[in-house]
Structure 1
Amino acid sequence: MESSTVTDESRVLVIYTGGTIGMLIGQSGYVTEPYFLTQNLRSQNRFHDPLQDSLFSHAGSVQGYRDWNAGSGRSSPIGDAGQPGGRQGRTLLVRSSRPIRTTTSPNSNSNGALLQPQCVKVSENVYEAHLPCLITPRTKIPGKNASKTICYAILEWSPLLDSSNMDFDDWIRIATEIELNYSFDAFVVLHGTDTMAYTSSALSFLLEDLGKTVILTGAQIPLSELRNDAVDNLMGALTIAGHYIIPECCLYFNHTLFRGNRVTKMSSYDLSAFNSPNFPPLVNVGIDIVVNWNDVIRQTSLRKFKVHKSMNPHVATLRLFPGISGTTIKAFCMAPIKGVVLETFGAGNAPQRADVMEALKEACERGVVVVAITQCSKGSVSDAYETGRTLMQAGVIPGGDMTPECALTKLGYLLSKPELSLQDVRQLIGSPLRGELTRQSRAVTQEPTVDKNLESIQRLLSQFVQLSQTPPQSLTRATETVPSEAAYAGLPDAAAPWTWTATEAARAEAVLFPFLIHLAAARDDIESLKYCLYPVDSDNAADVLKLGMIPGGVVNCLEVGSGRSPLHVASLNGNTCSVELLLRAGALVHLRDMLGHTALYLAARQKHEDVVDLLVQAGATLGGSDIHFANSFMENSAERPNHDPLRIWIKAGWKPAK
């Protein structure tokens, strides 16, 4: 049966490609075994709690457990469909570019024999099947006074691949399956560790305008071993995917979530196999889950998610070594090579022999894109040394602090785009597209003064005064950057000067800003929204700190009680200008409130057609509880003569039940 609608759960698709995590010991070492991973997880209550199945009337409660313990469920705690003594469990509709198989199906025989699932070919290279879902125990949502379960299905590849056999087509296959199942809330990709950094880098580029969480993970020791890292890695990835919207392709390993195109495998032996030398982790998992929201990428363009489905295979990596000759470089850069990642010495240096420089110059002039990165695990290329500048003069492009895995996959991605000229590719290869290299920026050289801290708080308080005393502002009305002295009239004595640190000022603003931005979004006050979204002084350390002290950033801060973001509020009120401003500032269109509703649902329910158009343009979709409530809403509206709601709901993506 199809999964019922639940507002306090996340739906995650696990794409199992293979790797050590699901292996068993065979005669010749670790080998992959079909079905083992899914059945193993289903047998562990930490990964599948039958009490959380929505078919129990009191799921997760004492009474629910007693009902289950006294009934047929006890004879089969796993609850497999078709198993002796078991019952039909929940399923999730999953699509794939290949025929789908699973361990069980509704037609399993009386002995519980493994049969092919009810896999239906929907269209050319698109198949779908209802896969049994697993449900985690109910856990508290980090940072919120609420709890939820994670409902997930495992789409297992056939055959399962060792990661050393992964190639460009497999990266495109993973990206395509994410596209086919984009109605899920998040995605976890199980993958072997040897080439995981290549896959995570490639996916970061192939998944264009990504709005949901994608996490790759695996293990150094398989789940079948008593002592392993598979449990922690998979549970950590599922937990982050189910509880947070981090719209990036990430890699989770050893209690740490990294940006996927910033990692490299550092050890074949340690459990901390991966590291991100030039970029801090996005999430650290300990007793608390700490998200570094300041470094999380957010989509700021009004474009829908799509998958780029090609990679140019004619790219390669060349590592310089003492004594390398121009003849070697010429041979390496011969057709059909179109792009070369040149691993240079130190900060971007190369031998200064004439034959070496001539070979590189000839390759660049012939149209080969050569990008320089450093052989060092940490650091960046630059023109600090003369030996580095001569490379640039030969036509080699500096690749900043990109990893070898990232530079190679980025080249393959850019060279596969027919709309890009050679000059475009050369310009984009050295520019950050997905946070893969560090953008040059001015550093903060000094701490803000007490007067600056006070001035910042006074500006903030003055915005509250303006919002409470004046009508909503118009986009066309001229506004002052700094409020006049009259704006401070009537402020309480608490706003009088006192001594504090930049951190204390940031904490005060972190408390006040969420109230202001929600009020501004409700009243369509563009001036106040801009004040909240864009710090007045980007070199002010307090401005930087305050953003980090608001989980998700001020643009995605949630109201206490309702769980609504500023985008929810603006959409509910039909404030088109505020919606567009919030989207361009990185508002997440897939965030759900405490009732499980997205901003798109609220706008459609209130018949704000312009807002619906804008949200759909930015990639918003109806899913989960939105569909359930939309169906109920349309059933109640069926006999009304006004057809506007139907048109708006169809625009939002609602489809009548068949």
Structure 2
Amino acid sequence: MEPSQPADESRVLVIYTGAGGTIGMLVGQQGYVPEPYFLTETLRSQTRFHDPQQDSLFSNSGSVQGFRNWSSGSGRSSPQDGPGAASPIKPQRTLLVRSSRPIGVPESLAPNKPHRKQPTCIQVSENVYEAHLPSLVTPYSAVPGGTGNKSIRYAILEWNPLLDSSNIDIDDWVRIATEIELNYTFDAFVVLHGTDTMGYSSSALSFMLEDLGKTVILTGAQIPMSQLRNDAVDNFMGALTIAGHYIIPECCVYFNHTLYRGNRVSKMSSYDLSAFASPNFPPLVNVGIDIVVNWNEVLRQTSLRRFRAHKKMSPHVATLRLFPGIATATISAFFMPPIRGVVLETFGAGNAPQRADLMQALKEACDRGVVVVAITQCAKGSVSDAYETGRTLLQAGVVSGNDMTPECALTKLSYLLSKPELSVTEVRELISTPLRGELTRPIRSAPSHPATVEKTVENIQGVLAEFVRLTSAPPRGPRITLTPETPLETSARDATAPWTWTAAEAANTEAVLIPFLIHLAAARDDLEGLQFSLDALGGPDSADQHHFLNVAGGVVNCLDLATGKTPLHAACLNGSARAADLLLRSGALVHLRDSLGHTALYYAACQGHEEVVDLLVQAGATLGGFDEPFAALGLRDASLAGNQIAARIWLKTGIKVSDAVPIGTM
């Protein structure tokens, strides 16, 4: 059994698909070529990527020579070797990694090059292999708004053979999605990928990773790490840092100090270090002296479904770019079977040549069940029906793709058409519906009146009134209660003639009060108070949209500064099943851990709240690394005491009987 995961350590799986934007390439006779294990060996030799002092089982690898001695099997000595003998090298910490393919590179690929010894790979089931891969660990660090001061332990799952991104296809998307699913016990994932097709892969994975609750980041480089001047170091370090410190439950792309939503990017340059852009959507994270997360825009899972990887994509899709003088015969031939979906890149805001024969060809294709999606050829902007030339496309049966990128529109179409349960009508409807934040919702008209100070003060009065109600009501059971201060009498307020609060002062007060209120309501299973706190955010049409949207995960995930617990932790500790359900449907993150390294699932099981455990498991919750030894102990104690209910609850969390200390018959 591997050592338990410390509370101040996050675990990231790095899936190294190949070129990684040339990130792990060497210069050969025919240009940049991928080299097995070069990336891993390079990272191990740099203390910013691997700090031997953080690893008590690691020795002598702070230098390149020490690592080479280990990797070649030399450097091992015994007390009889005498003075000057090399120090014995202790075993390295490993992480259990699974894959749909055998793990490791055959010795025949690099027989004369010293490299890391091959891991022992075993097949555990059909198309599932596992191995204990040596891990690397970063120095301790903290980031603004992150999950505290921690180190990042990571293992690199290297594909064999390494692929240039121009050779990536649908099967490789399925492989990446499968490996994320097989290793979902990791806290986050970084995928090293070539830049040429990264926009396609990040878009496809954003749809294939259904109900994602953890961070997935694709990154690469324009210049390989083997070169003195490169962007590979910054890109990999930035992606690893964000993945290890933040829960951003999306498939993202990190490049040139910026984290983008993966289905919003396109490669814009083949020679600039700023290779990617997201013209129609702001970055999720900007990295400078500070790391600034735009929490307003981060997606939050609001369904009670477990994560799963969709492992099929339709290959019968294509992209057709309109041009002046395009022949109708070209259109007709392009839409012939087996084509089932076409992304039509139109002029400007969704315009096309107004030839009757061309429109008839499009209509016939749509009538046969081909799904045609219109997007703009412009890098920035959206299609609309503002022009007559755009409305005729819609009348022919073409569906608006709004402001989706070409990469996103194609992969979304492939994803939807791969689902046999969806009819053509449903696919057309879903194309224009944002599933993973890939397109902008239609803009509603803003309220006609601005927010006023009086309205803000009224909100604060509502918060205070809710506090009085919650703290005055008798608790359901043993609870920590708060004693409210006695409100000032009306005469006293009038006598002091207080100044009216400014909107900023009122907002600051509300910012202090709301976190306490939502934690208290969650602990008491008080849905009224909980909904009040959540409504304080303001809806998308609100003129005074609350700034709580721009905190890590929103107010629904706000932390108790003393314990690091979220409202979901509070609900689960107290068995507040209704509150937990509302929190999960409002975007609560089930994988967040408190300052002790424990998840909400662990606390619910520890307190014996079976209904809450069932709810969390349904929503995809799993035990965190630091939970497991305590859960195993709880399972053992329940069995020894003959407490079948407690044992059943622990087993529901996913802890295996084999992980507990042998205890005889359950």
TM-score by length of 2: 0.90
Residue 473 of structure 1: CA displacement? 9.3
CA contact (8 A) 1:462 1:488 kept: no
One of 398, 403, 406 as aligned partner of 1:404: 406
Counterpart residue identity of residue 599, structure 2: T
One of 93, 98, 104 as aligned partner of 1:95: 98
- Match of 1:370? 372
- Match of 2:559? 558
- Match of 2:462? 459
CA contact (8 A) 2:316 2:341 kept: yes
- Match of 1:477? none
Cα distance, 1:146–1:385 mapped onto 2, change above 3 Å: closer
Cα distance, 1:203–1:514 mapped onto 2, change above 3 Å: same
CA contact (8 A) 1:311 1:412 kept: yes
Task: Tell me the alpha carbon deviations over residues 555-607 of structure 1, each in whole angstroms, 9 at most, x when there is no partner.
Answer: 00110121000000000100000000000000000000011111000000000
Task: Tell me the alpha carbon deviations over residues 70-123 of structure 1, each in whole angstroms, 9 at most, x when there is no partner.
Answer: x9999726895645253211000000000001699xxxx9x9665432100001
Residue 2 in 1 paired to residue 2 in 2?
yes
- Match of 1:639? 640
Task: Tell me the alpha carbon deviations over residues 99-157 of structure 1, each in whole angstroms, 9 at most, x when there is no partner.
Answer: 001699xxxx9x96654321000011000000000000111243369410000000000
Cα distance, 1:657–1:648 mapped onto 2, change above 3 Å: same
- 1:489-638 aligned within 5 A: 498-501=500-503, 503-535=504-536, 538=539, 539-548=541-550, 550-638=551-639
Residue 48 in 1 paired to residue 38 in 2?
no
Task: Tell me the alpha carbon deviations over residues 506-525 of structure 1, each in whole angstroms, 9 at most, x when there is no partner.
Answer: 33322221111111111111
- Match of 2:663? none
Residue range with higher mean Cα deviation, 561-570 or 138-147: 138-147
- Match of 1:262? 264
Residue range with higher mean Cα deviation, 518-527 or 83-92: 83-92
Cα distance, 1:38–1:344 mapped onto 2, change above 3 Å: same
- Match of 2:83? none
CA contact (8 A) 1:24 1:31 kept: yes
One of 168, 178, 188 as aligned partner of 2:190: 188
Tell me how far apart the structure 1 counterparts of residues 329 and 441 of structure 2 sit (CA, whole Å): 35
Cα distance, 1:466–1:507 mapped onto 2, change above 3 Å: same
Tell me how far apart the structure 2 counterparts of residues 513 and 75 of structure 1 sit (CA, whole Å): 56
CA contact (8 A) 2:148 2:245 kept: no
- 1:55-134 aligned within 5 A: 55=57, 76=66, 80=70, 82=73, 84=75, 85=87, 86-101=89-104, 115-134=117-136
CA contact (8 A) 1:505 1:542 kept: no
- 1:375-386 aligned within 5 A: 375-386=377-388
**Does the residue aligned with 2:602 lie in a helix, a strand or coil?**
helix
**Does the residue aligned with 1:336 lie in a helix, a strand or coil?**
coil
Tell me how far apart the structure 2 counterparts of residues 497 and 353 of structure 1 sit (CA, whole Å): 69
Tell me how far apart the structure 2 counterparts of residues 144 and 246 of structure 1 sit (CA, whole Å): 11
Tell me how far apart the structure 1 counterparts of residues 136 and 515 of structure 2 sit (CA, whole Å): 36
Residue 636 of structure 1: CA displacement? 3.5
Cα distance, 1:488–1:323 mapped onto 2, change above 3 Å: farther
Tell me how far apart the structure 2 counterparts of residues 536 and 267 of structure 1 sit (CA, whole Å): 39
**Does the residue aligned with 2:326 lie in a helix, a strand or coil?**
coil
- Match of 2:14? 14
- Match of 2:155? 153
Tell me how far apart the structure 1 counterparts of residues 23 and 205 of structure 2 sit (CA, whole Å): 20
CA contact (8 A) 2:601 2:622 kept: yes
Tell me how far apart the structure 2 counterparts of residues 250 and 72 of structure 1 sit (CA, whole Å): 32
Counterpart residue identity of residue 93, structure 1: L
Tell me how far apart the structure 2 counterparts of residues 469 and 198 of structure 1 sit (CA, whole Å): 56
Cα distance, 1:415–1:146 mapped onto 2, change above 3 Å: closer
CA contact (8 A) 1:35 1:103 kept: no
Task: Tell me the alpha carbon deviations over residues 316-344 of structure 1, each in whole angstroms, 9 at most, x when there is no partner.
Answer: 00000011121110011111100000000
Tell me how far apart the structure 1 counterparts of residues 4 and 277 of structure 2 sit (CA, whole Å): 40
Cα distance, 1:426–1:46 mapped onto 2, change above 3 Å: same
- Match of 1:469? 472
**Does the residue aligned with 2:593 lie in a helix, a strand or coil?**
coil
Residue range with higher mean Cα deviation, 462-471 or 356-365: 462-471
Cα distance, 1:285–1:568 mapped onto 2, change above 3 Å: same
Aligned residues: 628
Tell me how far apart the structure 1 counterparts of residues 497 and 221 of structure 2 sit (CA, whole Å): 54
**Does the residue aligned with 1:515 lie in a helix, a strand or coil?**
helix
**Does the residue aligned with 2:150 lie in a helix, a strand or coil?**
strand
Tell me how far apart the structure 2 counterparts of residues 488 and 189 of structure 1 sit (CA, whole Å): 58
Tell me how far apart the structure 2 counterparts of residues 144 and 349 of structure 1 sit (CA, whole Å): 45
Tell me how far apart the structure 2 counterparts of residues 212 and 400 of structure 1 sit (CA, whole Å): 28
- Match of 2:241? 239
Task: Tell me the alpha carbon deviations over residues 180-223 of structure 1, each in whole angstroms, 9 at most, x when there is no partner.
Answer: 00000000000000000000000000000001000000000000
Task: Tell me the alpha carbon deviations over residues 44-80 of structure 1, each in whole angstroms, 9 at most, x when there is no partner.
Answer: 1110010011437xxxxxxxxxxx79x9999726895
Residue range with higher mean Cα deviation, 75-84 or 507-516: 75-84
Tell me how far apart the structure 2 counterparts of residues 161 and 144 of structure 1 sit (CA, whole Å): 33
**Does the residue aligned with 2:544 lie in a helix, a strand or coil?**
helix
CA contact (8 A) 1:80 1:88 kept: no
Tell me how far apart the structure 2 counterparts of residues 78 and 612 of structure 1 sit (CA, whole Å): 47
**Does the residue aligned with 1:552 lie in a helix, a strand or coil?**
coil
- Match of 1:143? 145
- 1:338-377 aligned within 5 A: 338-377=340-379
Residue 355 of structure 1: CA displacement? 1.2
- Match of 1:323? 325
Residue range with higher mean Cα deviation, 30-39 or 490-499: 490-499
**Does the residue aligned with 2:194 lie in a helix, a strand or coil?**
coil
Tell me how far apart the structure 2 counterparts of residues 295 and 650 of structure 1 sit (CA, whole Å): 37
Cα distance, 1:238–1:420 mapped onto 2, change above 3 Å: same
Counterpart residue identity of residue 535, structure 2: Y
- Match of 2:443? 441
Tell me how far apart the structure 2 counterparts of residues 168 and 388 of structure 1 sit (CA, whole Å): 32
Residue 644 of structure 1: CA displacement? 1.3
Cα distance, 1:91–1:430 mapped onto 2, change above 3 Å: same
CA contact (8 A) 1:80 1:87 kept: no
Cα distance, 1:506–1:83 mapped onto 2, change above 3 Å: farther
Counterpart residue identity of residue 451, structure 2: P
Identical columns (%):
68
**Does the residue aligned with 1:420 lie in a helix, a strand or coil?**
coil
CA RMSD, 1 decimal: 2.6
TM-score by length of 1: 0.91
**Does the residue aligned with 1:25 lie in a helix, a strand or coil?**
strand
Tell me how far apart the structure 1 counterparts of residues 405 and 489 of structure 2 sit (CA, whole Å): 55
**Does the residue aligned with 1:172 lie in a helix, a strand or coil?**
helix
Cα distance, 1:72–1:149 mapped onto 2, change above 3 Å: closer
CA contact (8 A) 2:553 2:588 kept: no
Cα distance, 1:354–1:376 mapped onto 2, change above 3 Å: same
Residue 628 of structure 1: CA displacement? 1.3
- Match of 2:166? 164
Specify every segment of 5 or more residues in structure 1 that has no aligned partner in the other structure, as ranges.
Answer: 57-67, 475-485
**Does the residue aligned with 1:193 lie in a helix, a strand or coil?**
coil
Counterpart residue identity of residue 89, structure 1: Q
Counterpart residue identity of residue 440, structure 2: T
